[in-house]
Chain A
């Protein structure tokens, strides 16, 4: 079970509170986790990754065990702490705007 923490606006959109959890077969990667999140919450399609290119949206970042994975390959296996559910994958909105 993978734990994912979404930004507040996306939790509202998906009508969830707190973390969401998804089941992902090994190997667990950013791509496979995001695929599972979008499958479980279709309204989030296009809000984290571009619909067409599946590239990360510019103002969002991915944090994994206190490390910035925003620019890592989305096919790179995530650490065991994420794959085991010990730690959540953090999807964070950039602090900007007004």
Chain B
């Protein structure tokens, strides 16, 4: 029977939750990198023991951590895993925390400014890595989505990072602006059927796609409508919160926008709304069942000014019809006085026969459902505020 490993990033460290395929009893390890914000942890599909973590701090900046043994030990890439400290207690040699925007003009059109909250132009400033996306095939290749929005790639296991400047060099760049959480590139989706195709999403710029491995990008926001921007149908400026794709249907995308749940069946060229009977279509997370490409999950949140569930009832909503028709899933979830949020990268699914669904809350709970959302139970309920949840299904 397969095992599962849940990687949880929180505001005060990372945690690894492990169980067998029954997903009833869990071992908890952590906090890893105690006291630091762990924005995201994710494992390589090509090597499950290869994990990457984004460790960040308002005081000390950005660190990339890597594990080559499934999270038992960590190091900054550049310092081999398990390396004995030099005699006398020497340091690790990692240099992986260097993210410098490409300012050359040779391979792109890098910009120096984007739109600020007040409409003026503002310099691009690196702040942190929001999302790490390991290659589907190469453990040493990994992408990083950062704030202020840009996409970086490492091909040496995270030792060095290079920007893919064509994204910021997109003609729309000067019109990108930060959302309330900053101007973050938070979603990176690699197309398993086409290595040249990558989707990304930025708050608050929108969704973009490359079909040439990252050299050229185009906005894919047609059909999005956002009442809170001057032109509701603008080419860019939409606050996309998250996008999900089923690997067997790489042209079908599901989006949770600031408001509205959306769907595209042509790789993002055109979107249409599938909010249907949701009690509110504001939210952050969205994900797809591992075996049913038309089964989608969201967690509705009351509004953009009140980031908690409606009526104090924490409910996941599931559509088995690819949207529009949604059912509330609440068995095992708190149904009174619950005022947590579920952030954009804090939901994931495993690929066991009975698909497991997981999400973490700003209240420090990580909930798991071993039966595709019918029943829920907390794995842990007193962690620091959860920023991200990823799941590995292990052989």
Contacts and interface: CB of A to CB of B under 8 A. Distances in A.
Q: Do these two chains really belong together in a complex?
A: yes
Interface of A: 7, 9-10, 13-16, 40-48, 50-52, 57, 59-60, 93-94, 97
A33 to B, nearest CB: 16
Nearest to A37: B91
B310 to A, nearest CB: 27
B100 A51 contact: yes
Interface stretch (B55-63, B169-177, B290-298): B55-63
6 contacts: A46-B62, A47-B97, A57-B59, A60-B59, A60-B60, A94-B59
A14 B91 contact: yes
Contacts of A93: 59-60
Contacts of B182: none
B63 A42 contact: no
Nearest to A47: B60
B61 A9 contact: no
B92 A43 contact: yes
Contacts of B119: none
Contacts of A43: 63, 76, 79, 91-95, 97
B94 A42 contact: yes
B60 A16 contact: no
B243 to A, nearest CB: 30
- Of A7, A51, A57, A60, the most chain B CB neighbours within 10 A belong to A51
Contact of A46 (B61, B78, B92): B61
B85 A15 contact: yes
Report the contact-size class of chain B (Cβ under 8 Å from the partner): 20 to 34
A52 B100 contact: yes
Contacts of A60: 59-60
Interface in B95-110: 95, 97-100
Given A9-B35, A43-B76, A51-B100, A57 B94 contact: no
Interface string B316-337: 0000000000000000000000
A95 to B, nearest CB: 10
B36 interface: yes
Interface of B: 35-36, 57-63, 76, 78-79, 85, 89, 91-95, 97-100
Nearest to A10: B60
A13 B100 contact: no
A42 B86 CA distance: 14
A9 B89 contact: no
A72 B61 CA distance: 22
Given A42-B92, A57-B61, A59-B59, 9 more contacts: A7-B60, A10-B60, A16-B89, A41-B91, A43-B63, A43-B76, A43-B91, A43-B94, A46-B97
Contacts of B79: 43
Contact of B93 (A10, A13, A42, A57): A42
B93 to A, nearest CB: 5
A45 B78 CA distance: 13
A45 B89 contact: no
A45 B95 contact: yes
Nearest to B78: A42
Contacts of B35: 9
A43 B79 CA distance: 9
Contacts of B61: 46-47, 50, 57
Contacts of A14: 91-92
A10 B36 CA distance: 11
Contacts of A97: 58-59
Contacts of B98: 45-46, 51
Nearest to B95: A42
Contacts of B94: 42-43
A72 to B, nearest CB: 20
A47 B94 CA distance: 12
A48 B99 CA distance: 15
A51 to B, nearest CB: 5
A7 to B, nearest CB: 7
